[in-house]
Amino acid sequence: MEKASIFENIVYGDSKPAISVLLNTDAIKEVRIVFRQGQEMKEHTAGYPIVVEVVEGLIDFGVNGTRCILEKGMLIALESAVPHDLIAKEDSIVRLSLHKDDPIERVKQVVT
């Protein structure tokens, strides 16, 4: 059994979103992405399906050139290879659910 808190040890990045792996099990990875207002993740794709949840804040989420606003408590699921980007409209905490084989390095490269 593994457990973690999405609200403990939150650290905001000065110039880019802060990414941390909360859980890494045999099946999935649960990742926390902490944004300051205005920070973003440039357009990218995932090699596996993902689920994104806005835990706190407000995210402008782009999917294939279409924009939608995700508020606290909202989730969005994407299949693999779907282009998407995120822009924080206010300080935000996002939970990202990844397939076990989806490398965390891929996520970190999107914010560098």
| Euclidean distance between CA atoms 16 and 78, whole angstroms | 23
Question: Does residue 38 sit within a domain?
Answer: yes
Q: What is the 3-state secondary structure (H, E, C) of the chain?
A: CCCCCCCCCCCCCCCCCEEEEEEECCCEEEEEEEECCCCEEEEECCCCCEEEEEEECEEEEEECCEEEEEECCCEEEECCCCCEEEEECCCEEEEEEEECCCCHHHHHHHCC
* Domain span including residue 73: 18-110
pLDDT in tens, 5-56: 999 999 999 999 999 999 999 989 999 999 999 999 999 999 999 999 999 9
* Predicted local confidence at residue 111, as pLDDT: 82
The answer to pTM > 0.75 is: yes
Looking at the domain assignment, is residue 95 inside a domain?
yes
Cα atoms found within 13 Å of the Cα of residue 73, Cβ hemisphere only: 0
CA dist., res. 21 & res. 4, Å (int): 10
Q: What is the CATH number of the domain that holds 44?
A: 2.60.120.10
Residue 112: per-residue pLDDT: 62
Q: Does 4 map to a domain?
A: no
What is the reported pLDDT for 110?
85
Kindly state the average pLDDT of the residues 59-69. 95
